[in-house]
Amino acid sequence: MQVNINLDLSQKVTKLISEINKVVVGQRNVILKCILALLVDGNVLLEGVPGLAKTLIFKTLAAATGGTFKRIQFTPDLLPADITGTRVFNPQTLRFEVVLGPIFANFVLADEINRAPAKVQSALLEGMQEKQVTIGNQSFPLPRPFMVMATQNPIESEGTYPLPEAQLDRFIMKVKIDYPNFSEEKEIMKRMQSNFDTPTVDKVIEVNEIIDLQMEVEKVKVSQKIEDYITKIVFITRKPHLYGFNSLSKYIMYGSSPRATLAFIKLSKALAFVEGREFVIPEDVEYVALDVLRHRIILTYEAQAENVTTEDIIITIMKSLPKI
């Protein structure tokens, strides 16, 4: 049965990106990837040194969609109830009442998530996976759309708690954010001067319309050849020697889970939709490959000793694997 896709809605995404770029200088790829995750109801782990506008990107995205935004600063003394909420005794009514935590928002920024212990990090898991939170014996649905963007600093390890692989797998993408280029740095400097008018963010899309966009993305077609291409990429990370990548076997302890396959399909469809296409092409898969796989491959000690990174492995696979 032929399913009609309203590609005119993809122009709303283009307007959304342009609106965010009014405030955020550069970082267009990071902005696009955050929006791709939003279009497939996913969550993003953003890694970069301080001061690269990670918070600003997400806050501006919320403002441009009219969604509610909450920022949680993760610290070693944070408790799970500080995120999800808790039951509080009301002396006037002599009853316990539920006070909802900051996770009840459309856009939740988990700032420096690796600074809190595992039990606090895991407090996000139910919300990210099930779109609900359990407090006491009650479950509360989270607002829709719902998206978590977690940040972490890659250069600081003292006083941090690395995210377990099981939790990393819940993030549909791990995106690395880099420094701005020379001209972008000058533009940032210009904007910080007192005589510069700070751009204001206009709401270019209603938050409820995001659900409609997500439904349109699901209609994008994926051919059998694209499905085979994605499946082969994922299987190479698990058993590289079966596909002629013998040199990678000594570097990979565990390959990607089936969540990587699903992430490839969803994000490739979202990118095709944003670019105004009804079908996925191999370039869509290549564009998201690093972000889908970099946190889903566990390296051996030999790889660490030889300074081989997950990015090196992914690039080797993508360059050597023939396109369909």
Same domain, 149 and 271: no
Same domain, 158 and 228: no
Please say if the pLDDT value at position 194 is more than 70. no
Percent of the chain with pLDDT over 90: 39
Within a 13 Å sphere around the CA of 131, how many CA atoms are in the beta-carbon half?
9
Note the pLDDT tens digit of each residue in 111-148.
888 888 888 888 887 788 888 888 878 888 999 999 99
Mean residue pLDDT of the chain comes to 87
pLDDT reported for residue 171? 92
Please say if the pLDDT value at position 163 is more than 90. no
Q: Which domain holds residue 77?
A: 7-192+204-212
Residue 35 token pair: 């929006």
**Residue 156 included in any domain:** yes
Provide the CATH number for the domain around residue 104.
3.40.50.300
pLDDT reported for residue 158? 66
**Residue 2 included in any domain:** no
For residues 210 and 160, the model is more confident at: 210
Same domain, 33 and 170: yes
Provide the CATH number for the domain around residue 229.
1.10.8.80
Same domain, 161 and 225: no
**Mean pLDDT within 197-226:** 87
Lowest mean pLDDT of 72-81, 90-99, 172-181, 194-203, name the range.
194-203
Please say if the pLDDT value at position 256 is more than 70. yes
Same domain, 25 and 147: yes
Q: Which helix (H) or strand (E) holds 315?
A: helix 310-320
Give the predicted TM-score (pTM) of the model: 0.90
Same domain, 230 and 144: no
Residue 146 and residue 37 in contact, taking contact as beta carbons nearer than 8 Å: no
Contacts of 122 (CB under 8 A, 6+ apart): 80, 167
Same domain, 260 and 120: no
**Residue 1 included in any domain:** no
Sorting pLDDT into bands at 50, 70 and 90, what band is 318? very high
